[in-house]
Every structure is written in C-alpha cells, then in structure tokens.
C-alpha cells in the first residue's frame, strides 16, 4: 500500500467518524439552529465521501443543492418559527426510551443482513464523469428525468401556494 | 527567454524540490510538493486582500479629489500592515445575548470557501493548483456555501440589524446565483468540459469568448451577478451602512471583523479571476508572460468594481430583486439559446443570427421592464 | 484506495438509524424534517457505494442519487411550506400540540 492510499483510507474513515458525530449532535442538540448547522456539516462530510468514491459531479451537486439551497430553506424555517428570546423549550418527547425499541429492531435487521450477505464486488472499468452522466440521463433515463422536472415544477407551485399569506 | 519568464513560478517550485530531493524520501517529496502549493495559496490570498484594500482606498480617494492613504511608507504601501496590527490588537467583543457557538463559527467558516476556490483558478500556463474535472462546478458549489455561514454569523449576533443584513444577504445571493450559473452554461456548451484549464485552452490565440455575441452578453451577465454575489457596490445591501449599520457584521470587532473583510476582498478577486478565465481568455495573450496577462485582466475587472463603488448609488431592495428576476434571468436563458444556435450553425450565419436574437431580446426586456409613469393629467375644464 | 463495501453499508445504516432516532424523538416539525434529510443522505451514500463496487452500469447509481437529491429539495420546499402554514394558523410547530385532526 502506498502512502497515498494509506492517507486516503485514513481520511475516508475519519470522514465517516466525523459525519456520525455531526449527525448525532444534529439530532440531539436542543437549539434548532445549532442542529441545522450540524446538518450542514453532515452534508459537507457526505460530499467529501462522494469525492473519495470518485463521484465528483454528485459531490458538487450535493454541496450546491443541499448546502446552498436546502439548508437555506431550513435555516429560514427555523428562523421564522422559533420564538426568539424565550428560553429553549424541550425539543424531544418525554418518553424517549421507547424510541429505542423500533430503532434496535431496524438496526439489528439491517446490520445482520449486511454482514450475512456475501458481497461479490468488482471494480468498474470506466470512470463516470459528467459526460457519461449526461449521456445516460438523455438516453436511458430520459423519462424519469422529465418526470422529476415535472415533480419539481409541481413542488414549486405547491410551496408557493401553501406558504403564501392571503 | 520568454518561455523561462512564463514558467518562472513552476521553475522556482522545481528548484526547491531539487534542492530537497537528495535528503528526503520519495513520499516526503510528494507531500512537500503539495505543501508548497497550499502555503503559496494561503499566503497569496491575504496578501492580495491587503493590497486590494490599499488600491481601493487610493482609487476612491482619487475619484473624490483627495489622495488616499499616503503616510505609512512610500505611497502608503505599509498602510495594510498597520491596519492588520490594529485589527489584531483590538478587543474581541462578544455581545452578552449572542449565541456564542454561531457567533464564533460565522467568521471562521466564511473565510474557508474563499480560500478553497483559489484551488481551481488557472493563474498561468501550467499554473493551476489542482485541475479538477469539475473545476467550474467546484467553484460555484464552494462559493454557494458562504450564504449559510453569513446567515449563521447574522443569527448568532442576536441583533436586529445583523438579522436584517443576513436576510438580505440570503435573498440576494440565492437570487443572483441562478443567473450566475446560467450565464456560464453557454461557455460550457461550447467547450464541452467543466475543467477551467480546458476552457482557457479553448480560447487560444485571441479567440476569447467575449468577442462573440453570446460571449459579450454572458460576460456582462456573469460580471454583474458576480459583483452582486460578493456583496459589492451597487449591490451591497447586506451591509448598507446608511440603513442597517453594518449588516451581518455589526456585532463583530477585531480579528473576527477582519476575517469578514478578508473574505469579501478575496471573493472579489476570485470572482474577477473566474470571469477572466471563462470569458476573457484566462492567461491567453500575445508576447507577455501568461501570468502577467491573467493578473492584468483580473485587476482591470477589480478596478471596474471599484469604479462602480465610487460612482453608483446603492440599489433599493425591490430594484435589486427585480433586476435579477426580470432582467438578468430571461436574458441568461435567451443567451443559452443564442449560444446553442451559434454552435450549431456555420460561420457568417451564426454570428449574425445570435447577434440579432440577443439585440432584439435585450430591447424587449428593456421595454417590458420600463417604468410606466402615468401621464400627467391635464384638467381641461377645471379652471373654466 | 479500496474500502470494503460492508464497511460503507454498516456506516450508512448507523447514519440512517441516527436519522430515524431524530425523526421519532423530535417534537419540533422542522427538527423532524432535518432528521429526514439525514436519512435520505444515508441512502444516497449507499447508491454511490454500490455504483463504485459493481461493474454493470456504474452511472445508474449516480443518476438515482441525482433524482434523490432533487426529490429531497422538493420535499424540503413543500414540507417547510406546510410547517410555516401550520405555524401561522396554530402558533405552534410542536407535533404533540397539533391535534386538529384528533377529534
């Protein structure tokens, strides 16, 4: 193993650990604005994972759309709905322990299934770049692409209609 | 000889590596060659920022019939250093009601994107820190994160004026990002690559994109949206000092304020550099060394920004939004169409057709956005 | 660099569980939406890992991630619009205080 591979592998696992910490803080902190900031850190970390997994285009999309656009929406919602000045009210339900029952069940099933499956991996020969993505999007996936654009349009109009004040 | 001057920075790096190579193992050399680039960028950014402040103060001083700073050193060249010392020694005040986490996080995270974007700018022939295959997209992705951090700083200050400035910043940057992204799509369409190096190479030998009809419109669109994106005059509503004190950095002092200031000037530089790269041919140019061409073009654009600041009044919020959504956005879409026709057709026809389309659409957008003032009413019979 | 795929899968399932915990335990509707974003991202990482590790059609995974990101944006926009509307009408966004449809 060369030095670069070692460094890259170490950085990959470090990024995973960082993402898990940021996500755990995101779902547990009381202040909702801090939670949104930790969500931004989680999303940036995931974009770094995409870079490591050689999906550069998706990494750029992740930062551009999630951190640039969706986070702005969430932060605005936090700002508009928070009661500025009041001491922080509890943000979770009182009987939190009962949540761990479905959580443990789902986690047990998922992880045992992952560990039991024999994964027959093989490295793909061709690297995926923006050109191949665009070609696939315009040939094989052209119908889903159009449907998604329609969904976006509907969501746009719907959001405006719902959030509009009379 | 010319070639040597052209590659002087590459040669310098190579000489440093050659001196070190007998003493160090191979893996250390790779790390050092990366390290040299990173250190150069991290020094280059702040130094450029310091002297841009001096240039701006001199420039605007001359516009207002005064000298500007000229006491510290010859021509005031030491003024940025003394400003830096002043910033470092100032007290760092955190308001009592502020959210310490967000207040601390804001300035630090604002500076990171402005340093990161330098890594995809080609400063000269073979002088790019890292030639990513998604270079342009990386620039926009990283630059778009700064919206969130500006808002974090504004929210963490717990100040009405800060919050107003932050909200204005978010609204403005989100609105101008769309025409900005669309204004570079024609260049990507012609080149067929996201890489900044490929874009510069496609403009070989004075075939700069700005000399084509769609390129001229794209250049103007990209430059205007870029000025808006880095919050400079006449789009500096987020920090409009006559309305909301200092906007999102009202509650910052000392080094934290200096970080905002630094990020602003570094963003101005990097946006000008990217406009140069995409539409003005980057480092391409005759005779002079490539990096000199690049910096000359970039500084011309920065001087235009300073000229804006010296002469234009600040826009109103509704004018700002209307300009983006009713003026720039339709023009960006039509420009995309014109560029597609330009690529598809052959030489004399394509220039004429895209020129006609763009002229007609600019006129139509102007007419559609014209202020309709009601006619002055003449009372025919009132005074009889 | 070769990362075994089951490491990535275990990591994403833990991330998914963290998101699920947030979605189940938060009272605040915006907090629930934030947790759902984490869950969506965990699934996206899975797609990319699979597209890296199996030779057939490596671009499919990335295209599905693109669709997922677009749909997440649509979800966030509509969801937050609904939350804002609820806040405007009910003056609360705590999900245990919104019991308009209970009786």
In a domain, C58, yes or no: yes
Q: Which of C9, C59, C64, C93 to mutate to test the interface with A (most CBs of A within 10 A)?
A: C59
Which residues, listed in sequence order, are joined to residue C28 by a DSSP beta bridge?
C94
pLDDT for B222: 92
pLDDT for C55: 64
In angstroms, the CA B65 to CA C4 distance is 68
Domain that holds residue B274: 93-368
pLDDT for B250: 84
Handedness of CA C5, C11, C12, C13 (dihedral sign): positive
pLDDT for B209: 85
In a domain, C97, yes or no: no
Quote the Cα angle for B83-B89-B92, to 5°: 110
Confidence of residue A83 (pLDDT cuts 50, 70, 90): low
Domain that holds residue C80: 5-90
pLDDT for A85: 45
pLDDT for B6: 74
Does the structure show a pLDDT above 70 at A20? yes
In a domain, C41, yes or no: yes
In a domain, B1, yes or no: no
pLDDT for B70: 84
3-state secondary structure chain A: CCHHHHHHHHHHHHHHHHHHHHHHHHHHCCCHHHHHHHHHHHHHHHHHHHHHCCCHHHHHHHHHHHHHHHHHHHHHHHHHHCCCCCCCCCCECCCHHHHHHHHHHHHHHHHHHHHHCCCCCCCCCCCCCHHHHHHHHHCCCHHHHHHHHHHHHHHHHHHHHHHCCC
Q: Report the neighbours of C using a cutoff of 3 or more CB pairs below 8 angstroms.
A: A
**CATH number for the domain that contains residue C19:** 1.10.287.3510
DSSP letters, B135-170, are HHHHHHHHHHTHHHHHHHHHHHTT-HHHHHHHHHHH
CA distances (Å), B118 to each of A87, B184, B263, in order?
Answer: 42, 18, 12
Which ipTM was obtained for this model?
0.88
Confidence of residue B135 (pLDDT cuts 50, 70, 90): confident
pLDDT in tens, A31-42: 888 888 999 999
Residues B186-205 have a mean pLDDT of 86
Map tokens 């630059």 to a residue.
Answer: B143
In a domain, B380, yes or no: no
Confidence of residue B174 (pLDDT cuts 50, 70, 90): confident
Lowest-pLDDT choice from A74-88, B147-161, C4-18, C86-100: A74-88
Residues C5-30 have a mean pLDDT of 88
- pTM (whole model) above 0.90: no
Count up the domains in chain C and report the number: 1
Does the structure show a pLDDT above 80 at B24? no
Six-digit token pair at B25? 């193992």
pLDDT for C57: 74
Residues A129-144 have a mean pLDDT of 86
Q: Are B290 and B122 a contacting pair, CB within 8 Å?
A: no
pLDDT for A166: 62
B305 vs A126, more confident = B305
pLDDT for A46: 92
Q: Are B213 and B351 a contacting pair, CB within 8 Å?
A: yes
Count up the domains in chain B and report the number: 1
In angstroms, the CA B16 to CA B28 distance is 13
Residue from the list A37, A61, A71 with its beta carbon closest to the beta carbon of B102: A37
CA dihedral A152, A154, A156, A160 (to 10 degrees): -170
* Residue A87 to chain C, least CA–CA distance (Å): 15
pLDDT for B202: 86
Instruction: Compute how many other C-beta atoms are within 10 angstroms of the C-beta atom of residue B295.
Output: 17
Does the structure show a pLDDT above 90 at A21? yes
pLDDT for B134: 85
pLDDT for A45: 92
CA distances (Å), B274 to each of A85, A126, B3, B140, B260, in order?
Answer: 43, 31, 24, 10, 21
Confidence of residue A8 (pLDDT cuts 50, 70, 90): confident
B25: Cβ contacts below 8 Å, ≥ 6 apart: none
Q: Which of C14, C19, C25 to mutate to test the interface with A (most CBs of A within 10 A)?
A: C25
pLDDT in tens, B86-132: 888 888 888 888 888 888 888 889 888 988 888 888 888 878 888 88
Does the structure show a pLDDT above 80 at B49? yes
Which residues, listed in sequence order, are joined to residue C26 by a DSSP beta bridge?
A92
Instruction: Spell out which residues of chain B touch residue A31, defining contact as CB-CB under 8 Å.
Output: 99
Does the structure show a pLDDT above 90 at A150? yes
Q: Which of A:64-123 have CB within 8 Å of C? A: 65-66, 69-70, 73-74, 76-78, 80-81, 89-93, 96, 99-100, 102-103, 106-107, 110-111, 114-115, 119, 121-123
In angstroms, the CA B248 to CA B260 distance is 10
Residues B51-66 have a mean pLDDT of 89
B207: Cβ contacts below 8 Å, ≥ 6 apart: B281
In a domain, C45, yes or no: yes
In angstroms, the CA B187 to CA A131 distance is 15
């Amino acid at each position: 193993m060369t030095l670069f591979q070692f460094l890259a592998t170490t950085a990959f696992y470090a990024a995973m650990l960082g993402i898990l910490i940021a996500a755990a803080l995101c779902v547990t902190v009381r202040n909702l604005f801090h939670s949104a900031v930790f969500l931004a850190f989680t999303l940036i970390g995931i974009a770094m994972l995409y870079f490591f997994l050689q999906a550069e285009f998706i990494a750029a999309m992740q930062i551009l759309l999630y951190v640039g656009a969706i986070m702005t929406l969430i932060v605005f919602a936090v700002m508009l709905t928070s009661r500025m000045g009041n001491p922080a009210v509890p943000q979770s339900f009182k009987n939190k322990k009962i949540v761990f029952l479905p959580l443990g069940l789902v986690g047990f099933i998922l992880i045992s299934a992952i560990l039991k499956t024999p994964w027959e991996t093989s490295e793909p020969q061709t690297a995926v770049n923006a050109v191949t993505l665009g070609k696939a999007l315009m040939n094989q996936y052209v119908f889903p692409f159009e449907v998604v654009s329609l969904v976006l349009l509907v969501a746009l109009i719907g959001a405006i209609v719902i959030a509009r004040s009379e | 000889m010319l070639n040597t001057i052209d590659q002087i920075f590459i040669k310098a790096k190579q000489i440093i590596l050659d001196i070190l190579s007998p003493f160090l193992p191979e893996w250390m050399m790779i790390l050092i060659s990366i390290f040299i680039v990173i250190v150069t960028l991290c020094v280059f950014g702040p130094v450029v920022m310091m002297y841009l402040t001096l240039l701006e103060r001199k420039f605007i001083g001359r516009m207002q019939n005064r000298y500007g700073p000229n006491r510290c050193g010859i021509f005031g060249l030491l003024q940025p250093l003394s400003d830096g010392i002043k910033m470092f020694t100032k007290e760092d005040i955190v308001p009592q009601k502020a959210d310490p986490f967000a207040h601390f996080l804001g300035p630090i995270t604002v500076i990171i994107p402005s340093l990161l974007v330098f890594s995809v700018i080609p400063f000269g022939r073979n002088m790019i820190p890292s030639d990513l295959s998604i270079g342009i997209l990386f620039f926009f992705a990283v630059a778009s994160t700064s919206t969130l951090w500006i808002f974090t700083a504004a929210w963490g200050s717990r100040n009405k004026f800060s919050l107003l400035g932050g909200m204005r910043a978010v609204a403005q940057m989100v609105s101008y990002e769309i025409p900005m992204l669309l204004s570079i799509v024609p260049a990507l369409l012609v080149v067929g690559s996201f890489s900044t190096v490929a874009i510069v190479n496609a403009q070989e030998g004075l075939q700069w994109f700005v000399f084509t009809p769609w390129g001229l419109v794209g250049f103007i669109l990209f430059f205007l949206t870029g000025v808006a994106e880095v919050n400079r005059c006449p789009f500096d509503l987020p920090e409009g000092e006559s309305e909301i004190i200092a906007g999102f950095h009202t509650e910052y002092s000392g080094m934290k304020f200096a970080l905002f200031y630094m990020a602003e000037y570094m963003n101005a530089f990097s946006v000008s550099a990217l406009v140069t790269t995409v539409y003005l041919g980057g480092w391409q140019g005759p005779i002079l060394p490539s990096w000199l061409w690049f910096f000359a073009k970039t500084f011309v654009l920065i001087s235009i920004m300073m000229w804006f600041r010296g002469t234009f009044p600040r826009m109103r919020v509704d004018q700002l939004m209307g300009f983006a959504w009713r003026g720039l956005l339709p023009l960006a879409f039509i420009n995309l169409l014109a560029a597609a026709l330009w690529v598809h057709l052959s030489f004399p026809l394509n220039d004429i057709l895209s020129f006609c389309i763009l002229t007609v659409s600019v006129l139509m957008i102007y007419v559609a956005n014209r202020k309709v003032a009601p006619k002055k009413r003449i009372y025919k019979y009132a005074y009889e | 660099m070769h990362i075994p795929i089951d490491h990535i899968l275990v990591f994403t399932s833990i991330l998914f569980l963290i998101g699920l915990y947030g979605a189940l335990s938060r009272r605040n509707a915006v907090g629930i939406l934030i947790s759902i974003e984490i869950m969506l991202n965990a699934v996206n990482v899975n797609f990319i890992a699979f597209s890296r590790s199996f030779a057939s059609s490596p671009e499919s995974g990335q295209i599905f991630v693109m669709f997922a990101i677009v749909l997440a944006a649509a979800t966030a926009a509509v969801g937050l619009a609904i939350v804002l509307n609820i806040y405007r009408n009910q003056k609360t966004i705590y999900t245990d205080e919104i019991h308009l449809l209970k009786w």
